[in-house]
Structure formats: C-alpha cells, structure tokens
Structure 1
Amino acid sequence: MNDSASTALGYHRATSYQRYQISPHALDWANQPSLVKNYPGLPRVPLPRDLDLPRIDYFTRACRPGSESHTSDVAPDLKQIAAALQLSHGVTARAVHSGQPFYYRSVASAGALYPFELYLTAHGIDGLDAGLYYYDPLAFSLTVLRRQPLPAIPRVDRAVAATFYVTGIFFRSAWKYRGRAYRYVVLDAGHLLENLRLALGALNQRFSIHLDFDDEQTANLLGLDSELEVCLACIHLHIDTDKGTDTANSIELEPLSADIRQASQVSGREVAYPEILNIHRAGSGSGGGGSAEASSLMVATHGNPLARIDLDSSTLPIAADYTQVLGRRRSRRNFIPASVSRENFMTFVETMAQSMGSRSGMPAACRSALTAGILAGENMPLPPGFYLLDPEKRQLEQRIAGSLIEAMAAACLDQMWLKHAGLHLLFLTDLTYLDEIWGARGYRYAMIEAGSLGQQAYLAATALGWGACGIGAIYDREAADLLGLTESGALVYLVGLGPVKTSAGKTR
C-alpha cells in the first residue's frame, strides 16, 4: 500500500468501486463476527427497564438547536443513563432469520453489521459507581471494566458527570466490505452519534460532542486493541461546576488486562486490511477540528445554479412521537412511484436543513466537511434534477435539470430498485479540501457527519411514513461524473427515500 492511501483522497480512490473491476468475494460464514463483545467473568450491572421515555414530537426534537441549548442542574441518575442507551442503541424488535435470532435496533447500520460499540465512564451518576462500563444492547446491561475514579478524556473546562465513547470494530464491516470497510465503520459511528445526540437532548441533558482526542490515551482508557477497535467520538454530559466531581487528567491509568483487550477480536479468524489501518493511523493526530469554516456549499461542481427554490417557512405540520419513530425505524427499499405532497417534501428538507450548518449540534469541522444534495424524481413537487441544499440561505440550488434517479441507481452497483425512490439524499465532499485543512482526520469528520445526517434522514422518513435505505455501494467516479463533481469531489453516501408499499398492499 503506497503512502497516498494515507490521505482522504488516496484512501477513497484506493477503495473505489469501478464497473467490471470488482473482485469476487465470498462471505466466510463460519467466521461471521459476533454482534456484541464478550467479557467472560466480569461483573454486570443490569439496567432498569421501567423507564420514563420522553413523550415529545420527533420534529420538535429534531429541529431544536444543538447541544448547548440544553441545561440541567442535576446529575443524571442510572435510569436516565438507561433511557439514553435505550433510545440511542436499543433493541426495538426480534425476529428469526435462517434459524438465527435477529435483533432490530434503533440505529441504522450498513449491512446490519453494527460495527460500533458504546462505553460509559461514570464520574457522578446516582446509582452507578465511578468507573468504566461496556454497554451490551442485547442484554441491556453494563459490564464493569474499571471501578475507580477516571479522567475525562478529552479534557474540558466544565464539570463532567459521565462520558459516552463510540468505537468502531474494523472486522465487523471488513468481513463483508474488505478494505472499503473503513467508510462504513465511520459512517455507522455517525448514525449512532446522531441517535445519542437526539436522545440526550430529549432527556434535557447538557452535553458536548468531541471528535478530537488522543487516540492512544482513549484506547488505553477503554481497554481496546487498537489494531482491531478504535474510538471515533466522545460525548461529555455536563453539570454545574459546584456539583461536579474531579475529572482531571492527572489520574494515572493502568492498562487493562490482555483478556479485556482481546475482546476487540470478534471472530475466530480475522483479516487485517492494511488500507483500513493506514488511513486510521494517518488520522490519529488531532485535525484541529474547530478551526476551519468552509462555505456550506464547498463541493465544487461545474457550472452555475440554474434556479433557486426557497424552503417553505411554514411550521412543521406533522406530529410523530419520537420514541415510536425510533421503534419503527427500518431499512426499507420497496419504493413505489407515488407522488409526494409539497408539505411533506418541505418538512423533510427543512428537518435536514435544521440539522446542518450553524444550527447543527455537531463540531464545526463536521459542518464544514460535507455538503448535502438531493436528486428529485418525477413525483416530487419541484422540477426533476440535482439540487444542493444550502442550510444557511434555506434554499435548494438546482445544478442539473432532468431526472437522474435511474442513472444514479445504475451508478449504485445497478441496484435498480433505487430508481423507484422519490428522491435520493446525497452527501458530498471534496477530498483534497479535507486533506489540505485537516489532514487524514478530515475523512473522519466528513464520514461521521454523513452518517449523522443519514440517521436523521431515516428518522424523518419514518415519521413521514416513507421508506429509507442508505447506500454506500457506489461506482465512485461514475456517480461523481453524473453529478458534475470536480476531480476531487466525491459522493460518499446516498439515502434513497420516498413512499413504499406496505404489507397490506397500501402505500405510505
């Protein structure tokens, strides 16, 4: 692997799909990765199940400002932590597929491989000792990894009651997607991060999101084998300073045992793909994530806008219970060519715009690293074409006229069911820009932001009664050329959306 694959541009090109040039790959079912980590012999803390989940409107929650607007004078207790975990990464249904149990979850994942994990450090939680815990969503319990006062990583100037850490396990996705899997691991971390952000806001917790931290220090804290599993995001829960506990980084941390680190291995036979390790290690230094603010439409396309359409300023008309939306979220692809009302279309676009740019609760680097676009099909309440979404001006800029839906379905590895979707939500970046501003860590910012917004799209679609299905399998350059992107422009993620056929034969 040459050094060029240690950049965002180099890795993305090295793992790009090209038509007629994808090498065959059979799944090794005998070594399918486990869906949860195993820590034999370590004590567990069962989480309470009699939870008071918030009864709020999804669109009201989704369109509230970012994390800093939430205030809480009281440290969270164990029931609030359990509610946050259930909402962000809970089991919503169980089924049996091919004789094996399958667990539907509140969070989307490429290929239902769930490469992410959640850990919790407790500094001041009523009902939970100070320490480090691993969250098992299937058993709905916390495994005790450390029982001691711990530092808050990354260090902040405000009191921290607890920290959630989102990690990614490479082989869970690489088992299917090989060297391309880093894309999906980081995208899926963004899915989980968005669910957690929404959950903490719904529970009126004050929090801050961090993507820049010392990777080695964080791996040591969590007991990870950093060749196999890495930390990708942290969320601190804050309380008033005079109610906080000492979380200074001066606390010395002993490495956890080899048995604990070995839990990062989730299959009896794993393959290490150098492309994945290369790009992650190259981005291990902090990218200085808050320093650059790019234009919200930083992805260069050829030509000028053909037209501009203002988003409707009317209040959101749909009512949908937030917890029920999470429980109903699924990946659905049985799209049908049915018309969509202007009201529903604008509700969806407005919800996405409220999650982007200056209104976003994500770190500034994420907001600067990505641009969202829309391919509108024939049944949308605006002319078919390719549009960029400008969240600051609250406008859609038409860049290409005419429906590209079927051509994009072909560019998505000929998954032609996508041509029936009413619209395609596109997440675009400029890979050279990422490298120039943040180095290789910029790839994380762009992909985490794409996953975060993708999760929001899943939930908004569910609330509207639509189907949604995320796509990362793309003939990369073919899709970029279709959209008229420059040489370093890339489509990194696509979500197909629109009316679907229900089991009763009705449309939604």
Structure 2
Amino acid sequence: MPEIHQSIAQHYHERTKYDPDTLASKSQRIDWAKQPVPFKEYKIGNDFDLKPYLQETSEEFATNPDAQLWRRISLLLFHSYGLTARMPSLGSAVYLRSAPSAGGLYPAEVYLVSRGTPFLPPGLYNYQCRNHSLKHFWESDVWQALQAACFWNPCLENTQLAIIITGVFYRSAWRYEDRAYRRIFLDTGHLLGNIELAGAITDYRPHLIGGFIDEAVNELLYIDSEQEGATAVLALADLLDIRQNLPVGPTALPSSTETNYPYVPDGELLKYFHHHTEIQTGTSGKMTLPTVQPEKSLEDKYNFSFCDKISTATTPIDWGENLSELANTIYKRRSTRAYSGDDLTLDELKSLLDFTYQPQNYIDQNLDHHPDYFDLNLIETFVAVSGVKGLEAGCYYYAPKAQELRQIRFKNFRRELHFLCLGQELGRDAAAVLCHTADLKSAIAQYGDRVYRYLHMDAGHLGQRLNLAAIRLNLGVSGIGGFFDDQVNEVLGIPADEAVLYITTLGRQR
C-alpha cells in the first residue's frame, strides 16, 4: 500500500522516476508490431478541405469574407499542429508536425467546436492533420453543453469557436509505459504554445480553460474515456470582432486530493491517475463551480547574498513584418539530434530567456503580452551552464520577475548532465541545459492532484517558446522528458522533493 500521507500525484511522480539502478531491468523491448497510428479516422462526416487557404493566391481573399475566415482557421490549425515534413523510417514514413512530441508519437488530438457561424456550421470537428482538413462528425449544436461542462466560463459567452485538446493514452504509453502521462501533458503544452502564437498570427486570442468536468467533455466529443481524455479547452476569441475582445480570466480549477487509494499494478497506473485527477459534477448532479484559493504573488526564489547576479535584459527577438518570421520558424522547427559542443554567447542565452519568459517585451510586434498559463508561480527555472561565453560554468537560478540569472553552484557539470540525460550526448555536448521544476506538495495543496496536469502543460508551453526562440536564432534545441529524476536534483542543488518536470538542451548544431 502507498504511504497514506502521499497523494496520488506524489505517488505517481515517485513511482515513475527513472533510476539508474532499476531502469535497465524495468525496460521492455518495444513491440513494433503494436506501434499506434498517430492519426484519428472517422468513417462518417463531411470534410472541409483547408489546403486551398494556405496560400493567398487570388483576390478572392480580399473580397470574400468567408474565404478570409477560412484562411485564418486554416493557418491557425496548420501552425498549431499541422504536418511540416514527411521522413522515411523502417520502410514506412514518419510525419513531423509543427509541435514537437517525445518519440514522434503525437498523443494529442485537436477538435474544433463551432457555435454556428456563417462559414462554419454548428457542431463538432476533428482536425485531420494528415490531409489538413476538418471532419465535421457531429452537426448538432453542442455549445451550451460545452458551457455547462466548463462551469459556464465567461470566455465562452461571446465567442463562436472553441478548441478542445485530448490525449490518446496508448500513443505514448506504447513506448513510455506509465511515465507517458508526463510526456502527454508536456506535448500538450507544446501544442498550447503553438496555438497561442498561431493565434497572434491569425488574429485569434485563445483563452485557456483547464477547469472542466472531464466526463462531460469526453461525452460531448463521443470519445472512449478509457482510451482518450480531454486535457484542455480553449475559447477562441476573434480579435477582429470587438465583442470578443475579452479580459483575461482564471484558467485553473482544483480537483480533489486523493490519499486513500489501492496499489495499482504497473501498466494501469497512467489511466488510474488520470481518472483520479478529474473534476466531477456536484453531488446534486448540477454543475457546481469549485472554489479556488486566491493566487499568491510569489517573489523569485534563491536570492542569496553570495549569488552572482547577471541581468538578462536584452533587445527582443525580431519576428518580422506581420510576424512572418514567426510563421516561418514554426514551420521549420526541428529537434536537434547532435550538438557540436561549441559555446553559445551570453547575448544568445539572454534572448532565449527573454522571449520565453518576458512576453510583455513583444507587445509592439502584436504578440500577446499576457498569454494564458495555468499558474507560472508554481514553476521554477534553473540553467546548468557548460559553455556560454561571458558566463562562468555552473548552475543558475533564473528569476523571471527580476530578469536575472543567479549563480547557485560553481562547477562544470557536463559529465553529470551526460549521465542524468540517460547517457544522451545531447546532455554532454549542450552549451546550456534548462530545467523546469516545481514544489509538488505545495502545488497540490493549492490545486489538488489535477495540478500535475497543469504543471507539465505549463512547462511544455514554456519549452515550446524556448524551442522557437532557438530556431529563430539558428541555434540547436531539444527537449528531454526522460532523465534520472533524483540526479537532476543533485546537480541543481535543490531539495529531493522538488519535482523535475522538463529539461531543454541548448547549443550549436553539429
């Protein structure tokens, strides 16, 4: 039996840690015959082809309002989760998308919900990224049901469109087993980052909704909750419609905290944990809005008197006229497979941190100065520096409010980074390795076990901004979701119960 004082989120995190003494014995040979297909197919429904709207080739877009709207939706979906490359692999093909995914498994599905517009009839749509189309698989009005499932979130009152993201569990669990739950939500965070930025390109503002009744949203989409589950809802506000220019609202609601649970066998932990982070209906059967603790205004941590403090204030990255370079960067983004071992410059590191954490510096480029996250106050950022010109090797805490790096350890950790990244050369040859962590116990006290979803989606969202900034600067970047958890804590010099969420390696491509 698990220790009674541990919540299911703490138990899941501890149990899915990678340990160098047990990883080899626990790992199983991958059954390639059972590799999942990362695309969803519908046998019924009407298809809306979005490909003609990717290229603005005629005057029709200037004179036809419907064509303009179709073009915006087409570009939004393509830059969020569209196919960007086809690569041969073992006699088949691997399709790369605009958002990165661990192992190229792409566990997320993207659904569009229409309230009913002149160009998009009411109902449910699935984004078919393989041929860049929308499958209209349910033609009835479901908007009121969506509002009820989201506790009548005010963002859904005036908007006409919404995006629902789900996770298909087996797509990642096939390879990563129970630890796949972490990767599913990191990958969802990558997608949320793309949706945020693609919205800026297409004049939509996505309003993130993480508090919803899971069962109700799953039933609305007609999905099997044992195989697939809703992970995020986004009300899609049209910035060209003054009525849809909405104030920023709350994004995260708490779930219960489960401490009384049985032992769950390996292979069943992922689904058990997901179902125990769901928000339920009220006991009367009505949709009752859970109460949430007031948001705390936290100061940056690790502000020791002995810390060397380096300002990260810098000139913002230029994303081109009408964000043309942002669109191009999303399209050409790739995860780096090998680094040269050459140094980055301090100015380059500053630019990476600036775009990732200081969105207010990009308001002049028409980017959202306050994009939605669940709660960034819960996320801490550390940078292990091995090769940055102008910066001593060691571990640094990044203080986003003060916009400075604070050195907390004084050693070159290349050897340790190589080991803790499961022996991947990316960890050894990177110039800098950025780590996202969170005080899991404190986070659970605020949002219940559901916070495990929020933490990983926020870390993935930050990671995607970091990805795009690196590609724009012609640097190499690769996210790592597989690492020896406790060894990361040792290198960073942080408490053992601080949960490591995500690692991003940065350097020069080989």
* C-alpha displacement of 1:293: 2.7
How far residue 295 of structure 1 moved from its aligned partner, in angstroms, is 2.3
SS of corresponding position for 2:53: coil
Give 1:367's aligned residue. 376
Gaps of 5+ in 2: 57-64, 246-264, 281-289, 362-367
Q: Alpha-carbon deviation of 1:110?
A: 0.6
| CA-CA distance at 1:303 after TM superposition | 7.1
Decide which moves more: 112-121 or 429-438: 429-438
Q: Work out whether residues 405 and 424 of structure 1, in 8 Å CA contact, stay in contact via their aligned partners in 2.
A: no
Distance 1:77 1:308, change over 3 A: same
What displacement does 1:132 show? 0.4
Alignment partner of 1:276 is 2:270: yes
1:186 and 2:199 aligned: no
Residue among 397, 403, 427 paired with 1:418: 427
Matched with 1:60 is: none
Q: Which residue of 1 aligns with 2:11?
A: 10
Q: CA deviation at 1:417?
A: 3.5
Partners of 2:433 and 2:244 in 1: how far apart? Answer: 47
Residue 123 of structure 1 corresponds to 115
User: How far, CA to CA, are the matches of 2:410 and 2:105 in structure 1?
Assistant: 37
Residue in 2 aligned with 1:482?
A: 491
Q: Is the 8 A contact 2:115 2:160 kept in 1?
A: yes
Within 5 Å, which residues of 2 pair with 1:195-274?
A: 195-239=194-238, 273-274=267-268
The Cα shift of 1:28 comes to: 1.3
Cα distance 1:430–1:304, how it changes in 2: closer, same or farther (>3 A)?
A: farther
Q: Aligned in 2, Cα 1:378/1:467: closer, same or farther, shift over 3 Å? A: closer
Equivalent pair of 1:377/1:385 in contact (CA under 8 Å): yes
SS of residue in 2 equivalent to 1:439: helix
Q: 2:134 aligns with which of 120, 123, 142?
A: 142
Q: Whole-Å Cα distance in 1 between the matches of residues 274 and 67 of structure 2?
A: 35
Give, as a single letter, the amino acid of the residue that structure 2 aligns with 1:323. Answer: A
1:351 CA displacement: 1.2
Q: Please state how far the C-alpha of 1:373 moved relative to its aligned partner.
A: 1.7
Give the alignment's TM-score, normalised by structure 1. 0.83
Asked if the contact 2:45–2:138 (Cα under 8 Å) also holds between the matched residues in 1, the reply is no
Distance in 2 between residues matched to 1:74 and 1:288, nearest whole Å? 41
**TM-fit CA distance, 1:30:** 1.1
Letter in 2 for 1:402: K
Q: Judging changes above 3 Å, is the alpha-carbon distance between structure 1 residues 160 and 315 closer, same or farther for their aligned structure 2 residues?
A: closer
Counterpart of 1:428? 437
Alpha-carbon distance, 1:395 to partner: 1.1
Counterpart in the other structure of 2:20: 19
Opposite residue 90 of structure 1, the aligned amino acid is G
User: Structure 1 residue aligned with 2:88, among 84, 91, 96?
Assistant: 96
1:164 aligns with 2:163: yes
> Which shifted more, 470-479 or 331-340?
331-340
Partner of 2:256: none
What per-residue deviation string (whole Å, max 9, x for no partner) do you get for residues 60-111 of structure 1? xxxxxxxxxxxxx999822211110001111111121121022121110011
Let me know the Cα RMSD of the aligned residues.
Answer: 2.8
- For residue 49 of structure 1, give the secondary structure of its aligned residue in structure 2: helix
Q: Deviations over 1:345-373 (max 9, x none)?
A: 2211211221599954123x431221122
Q: Deviations over 1:34-76 (max 9, x none)?
A: 11112223332222433368xxxxxxxxxxxxxxxxxxx9998
The aligned amino acid for 1:147 is: E
Q: 2:346–2:388: 8 Å Cα contact kept in structure 1?
A: no
Secondary structure, aligned partner of 1:321: helix
Native 8 Å contact 2:53 2:70 kept in 1: no
Please report how far the alpha carbon of residue 112 of structure 1 lies from its aligned counterpart in structure 2 after TM superposition: 0.6
The residue identity in structure 1 corresponding to 2:309 is R
1:445 alignment partner AA? Y
Q: Please say if 1:47 is aligned against 2:50.
A: yes
What displacement does 1:313 show? 3.8
Moved more, 352-361 or 271-280: 352-361
Q: CA deviation at 1:421?
A: 0.7
* In 2: Cα distance, 1:74 partner to 1:402 partner: 59
Q: Which moved more, 1:163-172 or 1:315-324?
A: 315-324
Check if 1:308 corresponds to 2:317. no
Alpha-carbon distance in 2 for matches of 1:205, 1:345: 30
Change (3 A) 1:279 1:289: farther
- Per-residue deviation, residues 228-251 of structure 1 (Å, max 9, x unmatched): 11111111122558689xxxxxxx
- The code of the aligned residue for 1:194 comes to G
Aligned letter for 2:80? Answer: S
Structure 1 residue 317: Cα displacement: 6.2
1:403, CA displacement in angstroms? 1.8
**Relative to 1, partners in 2 of residues 1:291 and 1:117: Cα closer, same or farther, differing over 3 Å?**
farther
The SS at the match of 1:500 is coil
SS of residue in 1 equivalent to 2:405? strand
Residues 106-133 of structure 1 deviation map (CA, whole Å, 9 limit, x = unaligned):
1100111100110000114442211101
User: Which structure 1 residue ranges, 5 or more long, are not aligned?
Assistant: 54-72, 245-270, 502-508
Aligned residues: 453
Structure-1 residue corresponding to 2:255: none
In 2, are the aligned partners of 1:294 and 1:369 still within 8 Å (CA)?
no
**Which AA in structure 2 matches 1:348?**
L
Query: Which amino acid is the alignment partner of residue 497 of structure 1?
Result: L
Give how far 1:187 is off: 0.7
Indicate the larger mover: 146-155 or 327-336.
146-155
Aligned equivalent of 1:401: 410
Contact persistence 2:293–2:446 (CA under 8 A) = no
Q: Is 2:500 the counterpart of 1:499?
A: no
SS of alignment partner, residue 160 of structure 2: strand
